[in-house]
Structure 1
Amino acid sequence: MDQTTPPPAVALVAEDEFLLRMEAADTLSDAGFTVLEVASADDALRFLEDKDGVDLLFTDVNMPGRLDGFGLAREVALRWPGITIIVCSGAAKPSPGDLPAKARFIDKPYSPALVHEVVRELRAG
């Protein structure tokens, strides 16, 4: 019998600020994800339309383009319901209806430990 290790889960980070994107990517990589990075919600949607296999979307709220992170989260939840979603911001807070039912919001600045905890909770539930 072939005993192969399953491939790591894939996270897509949508963050327009390079250093914050790099920090989020490192945090998710440390949590065991293969991490892909984009700089806007529009880029994230294009990526998801072209590729399969993304397990987690980690997005900032304020980004350039036609959608912000809340809009991206709603669109992803509608079109790819199997993708786990985490939205973060240091400037905006979600209002009722901003987040899909299964998405979680994290305030910036966040700790890697908090991100790891939220990822575990979302993936378990």
Structure 2
Amino acid sequence: MSNSDQLRIDFREHDLPPRWDGDRVEWSEWTALTEGNICPPPTSSERCEQCRSTAAPMSSRGTVITDYGPNVVPIGRARLIGRAQRSHKLVVFRCADCQHDTVWEIDTGQHWDLDPSDYTSAGSWSIG
């Protein structure tokens, strides 16, 4: 990792996005990515898109928590949980060499490359 990569990480407001499209995210601890760690396995390439490294990335799982406002009546199972609904739907991969993060959104199968704005208190938002 270069000095500029380390500086970029040190100046992040958060290690990972605290919000995903406005909803809170609770992230697990970082773990080494090994085969069988994620089912079904992601369909991303085996190289880092930023630095082309083939080093095994680290991973963390994100639980998105949807908070219901006081005027929203949850239906289905959500009403049994209280005012929030949890769904385990994100996996982030961090390159061991350049520290670039890519998020796999399990529900949609999409991969998202994070940029510096995603690490602020506002979190990551889909643009477009």
Query: Fold-level match, TM-score > 0.5?
Result: no
Normalized per residue, the structure richer in strand is: 2
Question: Higher relative contact order at CA 8 Å, sep ≥6: structure 1 or structure 2?
Answer: 2
Larger Rg: 2
Using structure 2 for the length normalisation, give the TM-score.
Answer: 0.31
Normalized per residue, the structure richer in helix is: 1
Using structure 1 for the length normalisation, give the TM-score.
Answer: 0.31
